[in-house]
Amino acid sequence: MQYVRGRDDTEVMYDVIYIDVHGSETPVAQHVDNRKEATDVARQAAAERGAGRMVLPGSTKLPNCVCVVPVDVEAA
């Protein structure tokens, strides 16, 4: 399991979410513990859907993209 040490020393995992042209979100993968694995899943999902791939959390909802979002497991 990968741990990212931050200010509050929490474990970080990643969710992969597809946002369609209407702005609706569909989970692709949840609580992936490896950032590279999450981006690989996002890349594959984007190719299958003909979508762009975003890896910047906090962006405004961009239609037709696959996002990799860090998740604080302890807060979830």
Q: What is the arithmetic mean of pLDDT over 45-66?
A: 79
Tell me what pLDDT residue 57 has: 63
Neighbours of 52 (CB within 10 A): 13
User: Two tokens at 67?
Assistant: 């996002």
Q: Is residue 54 domain-resident? A: yes
User: Two tokens at 24?
Assistant: 């609706």
Q: Is residue 1 domain-resident? A: no
Tell me what pLDDT residue 43 has: 93
Q: What is the number of domains present in the chain?
A: 1
Query: 């979508």: which residue's tokens?
Result: 51
CA 6 to CA 4: how far, in whole Å? 6
Q: Which domain holds residue 57?
A: 12-72
Q: Is residue 47 domain-resident? A: yes
CA 68 to CA 54: how far, in whole Å? 7
Q: Is residue 67 domain-resident? A: yes
Q: Is residue 48 domain-resident? A: yes
CA 21 to CA 35: how far, in whole Å? 25
In the chain, % of residues over pLDDT 90: 43
